[in-house]
Chains A and B, each alone.
Chain A
Amino acid sequence: MQFLRAILLRLATTAVTLFGAALIVFVVVRVVPGNPIAMMLPPNATEDDVARLRALYGLDKSIMEQFVIWLGGVVQGDFGTSISLRRPVAELVLGRLPATLELSILALILAVALGGAMALLGTRWRGRRTEAAVDVANGVGMSVPDFLWGLLLILLFGVLWPLFHISGRVSPQLDLPFSTNFYLFESLLRLRFDITADLLAHMFMPSVALALPLAAIIGQLLKQSLKETMGLDYVTLARTKGYGETRVILREALRNAVLPTLTLVGVQFTFLIGGTVIIERLFSYEGLGNMAIDAVINRDLPLIQGIVIVFAALFTAVNLVVDLTYAALNPRLRHA
């Protein structure tokens, strides 16, 4: 019962957060200087044309009125029409979202794998050179943001040793037999591994750039809690049973050490998704973030709003899922 109430409370705060985010974006976007309507019309347009177009996009009403109308639409899945691309915002955003999701999830998988490996290495050979090396690598990984990693990777694998593509999502000459925009996922389902390889050659650098800072954080925190767990009685008991050190870490300690890392990964994953904005720009990857920057440059108010709200919904959803998973995994919280 208490568990249920906690979930309901959590859902209510999520709704408040989303509403606040929507309101702030709406107001900020409307004080943007530069008239998007003027940019759409030919130079010889009359005052009447401008007024008509403003009315068409609802820009002649007060900000609060516009907000209520927009919110009413959003609840029904109508995000308005993009001013620069003249297509429904919902359609544009949904078209790009899969690209960003695939990139973020690939980066998350890389980060967990790399960070987990670092933590296990550092724990297995703790107090030795290996652990010191892991510490230094984690320190550097954490202090350097994704944008810089992206540039360094471009130098390394784009110029010095050109192994991967430095721009785009997929080679344009490829014929894509897909019915959704989840190219990577669908290429795997349809067993078109040639396309998978091409996609991965494009996604490698952006996803590694996004993954490195998170991998370092996971590596450090997981190593810390693994080392604490290794000192507990039940681990010593496992050792006295004659289990090897590696097996003790993997089979006994890991399960208990992973919980604090999980919460952190949730928050950090939202930072990673936020990082896609500039990383997509850097690698000309056709995702949501890249479109967002164009939308700001073009003063495309409905599109900016739509994209920001989708990001905000994504972030709050990730946090919600992490909280619920944590509650489900942690018996102390479940029965509290």
Chain B
Amino acid sequence: MRDGRGQIRRRAGLRLWLSGGWLALVLFGAVFAPWVAPQDPLMQDLFTSRLPPFWMEGAEPGYWLGTDNLGRDVLSRILHGARIALIVAVSAGAATCLIGATLGLIAGYFRGMADIVISRLVDIWMAFPPVLFAILLIAVLGTGLTSIIVAIVVIDWTRFARVVRAEAMNQGAMDYVASAQVAGYSRLRTMLVEILPNVLPTIGALLTLEMGISVIVEAILSFVNLSIPTDDPTWGGMIAEGRQAIHQSWWVLVFPLVTLFLTVLSFSQLGEGLKDRFDPVLR
């Protein structure tokens, strides 16, 4: 226990580096996919169908992670799929955060009528199974990237609202907020200048968590064939195809699955790591 603090710091650092490194790699792959992908992700070629990954017998150079049953290169599809995954992660994550955190802040600091309305809405929202709600929304909005993002925001704003509300309530009861009031700050200014900065570490951790969740939601929607209507590769779509062909070509499922797994894990670990590093109490 003597070196407890040092130990924790070191572990948090390693966690930050590993998760940040993986996400940087995914970002690089997404941005430069057309240049770094060895093959055209959409090109079908029945002569190269179901090629195994490079270390197995029968592999062909240039198809490092093998091909699916239409002869499309798995690695190239993963790289191109990273684009949609990251677009959804960043835009849905940011929009959800903005809306949910704002409502949570208002409910937690102003209390009163606003709190009653927002809390009741959160209760109603929590009574829906999120995946079913998402599928229902996509059925209403139609498939497509925008629909996915809107669906994620509509479903998940409550996560931010609940946590930020509780946190804002805690902060609002503190002495420094009372002194700001005495100093003549308006309620709105107190909320933005005094409360918000103290809630930010929590919001940041939730934001990266939400990005990981967004990637999963997109994958789930692709899995039930309700994501984007074009041929563009998505990780969830690849997983759904791989699930069908699991006994013939396991690599079509394994590689996108591992990519998705590491990405989701990295997003949540990055959030936890950043929170540990920037939380003044722990530091």
Contacts and interface: CB of A to CB of B under 8 A. Distances in A.
A-B complex is real: yes
Interface of A: 13, 16-18, 20-21, 24-25, 28-29, 31-34, 127, 139-140, 142-145, 147-148, 151-152, 154-155, 158-159, 270, 273-278, 281-282, 289, 292-293, 296-297, 299, 304, 307-308, 311-312, 315-316
Contact of B132 (A16, A20, A158, A274): A274
Contacts of A296: 132, 135-136, 139
B253 interface: yes
B68 interface: no
* Candidate in A21, A148, A292, A316 with the most chain B CB atoms within 10 angstroms: A148
Contact of B239 (A16, A127, A151, A277): A151
Given A140-B265, A145-B213, A292 B120 contact: no
Contacts of A299: 139
Interface stretch (B51-59, B106-114, B170-178, B242-250): B242-250
Contacts of B220: 147, 278
B269 A33 contact: no
B261 to A, nearest CB: 6
A280 to B, nearest CB: 10
22 contacts: A17-B120, A18-B127, A20-B123, A20-B124, A21-B128, A28-B137, A29-B136, A32-B136, A139-B272, A140-B265, A143-B212, A143-B267, A143-B269, A145-B213, A148-B260, A148-B261, A155-B253, A159-B246, A274-B129, A296-B135, A297-B139, A308-B128
Interface in B123-146: 123-124, 126-132, 135-137, 139-140, 142
B180 interface: no
A276 B137 CA distance: 18
A304 B137 CA distance: 12
5 A-B pairs closest in CB distance: A274-B129, A143-B268, A312-B127, A20-B124, A277-B131
A17 B124 contact: yes
B139 A151 contact: no
Nearest to A311: B129
Interface in B256-283: 257, 260-261, 264-265, 267-269, 272
Contacts of B137: 28
* Candidate in A17, A143, A296 with the most chain B CB atoms within 10 angstroms: A143
A281 B220 CA distance: 10
Interface of B: 1, 120-121, 123-124, 126-132, 135-137, 139-140, 142, 212-213, 216, 219-220, 223-224, 239, 243, 246-247, 250, 253-254, 257, 260-261, 264-265, 267-269, 272
Given A31-B140, A143-B268, A277-B132, A21 B124 contact: yes
Contacts of A308: 128-129, 132, 136
B224 A148 contact: no
Contacts of B250: 155, 159
Contacts of A28: 136-137, 140
A323 to B, nearest CB: 12
B67 to A, nearest CB: 19
Nearest to B267: A143
B136 A144 contact: no
A151 B128 CA distance: 24
Secondary structure dominating the interface of A: helix
A17 B123 contact: yes
A315 B126 contact: yes
A13 B126 CA distance: 13
Contacts of B268: 142-143
A28 B133 CA distance: 10
B10 to A, nearest CB: 12
A155 B245 CA distance: 12
B172 to A, nearest CB: 23
A94 to B, nearest CB: 18
Contacts of A140: 265
Given A20-B124, A31-B140, 9 more contacts: A17-B123, A17-B124, A32-B139, A143-B265, A143-B267, A151-B257, A159-B246, A289-B129, A311-B127
Given A28-B137, A143-B212, A144-B264, A274 B131 contact: yes
Contacts of A274: 128-132
Contacts of B239: 151
A282 B223 CA distance: 9
* Candidate in B121, B127, B136 with the most chain A CB atoms within 10 angstroms: B127
A147 B268 CA distance: 16
* Candidate in B140, B250, B267, B272 with the most chain A CB atoms within 10 angstroms: B140
A281 B257 contact: no
A147 B213 CA distance: 11
Nearest to A23: B124
